[in-house]
Amino acid sequence: MINKIILLITLLAYSFIVSQSFMYILALKNVQLNLAANPYIELRKLIDSAMRSNFKYVIYAALLANLLLVIVNIKNPGSVVFITAAIAFIALVADILLTVKGNLPVNDIINTWSADNYPTNWAEYRTKWFTVFQYRQIASITGFVSLLIGVVFRAK
């Protein structure tokens, strides 16, 4: 029963993370690519501020729950749940590293800009942000799908 509870918590926390990837696929990327410099900078700053204050708790919850899921299932290293939980954990760590080393530094630069003071190559920063984020999308979607596979195909 504890395994099921940890799996559920992991899925819930991971679903918040992967929802960002899905929203960018569905709409947010196209919206941001069609914005001029000032609206893009304003939107990016607002999103970054909200994400920095709230998203870390989701990340901590997902990391803790996913790690617990791996630990609880380590006694059966060949089981579907252990394998898929390990894949999800690695994907989550990859997403976090890409965020910290890729997206956050770009956000830090954008956060210094103002409506009347931004570089002429501002769109290159947006492109760099999206390039890193695409790798994060691959990681988060891979991890989430891996967890779903673990739920669907686990031994009963």
Describe the crossing of helices 122-153 and 2-23 by its angle, rounded to 10 degrees: 150
Sign of CA dihedral 8, 10, 16, 18: negative
pLDDT of 139 higher than 90: yes
Q: Would you state the structure tokens that stand for residue 37, as one six-digit string?
A: 């410099």
Domain boundaries, the chain: 1-153
Taking the C-alpha atoms of residue 62 and residue 17, their distance in angstroms, rounded to an integer, is 8
Residue-wise pLDDT for 14-37, tens only, equals: 999 999 999 999 999 999 999 999
Taking the C-alpha atoms of residue 146 and residue 83, their distance in angstroms, rounded to an integer, is 9
Residue-wise pLDDT for 44-61, tens only, equals: 999 999 999 999 999 999
What is the predicted pLDDT for the residue at 133? 98
Residue-wise pLDDT for 104-116, tens only, equals: 999 999 999 998 9
Helix or strand (DSSP H, E) at 41 = helix 37-73
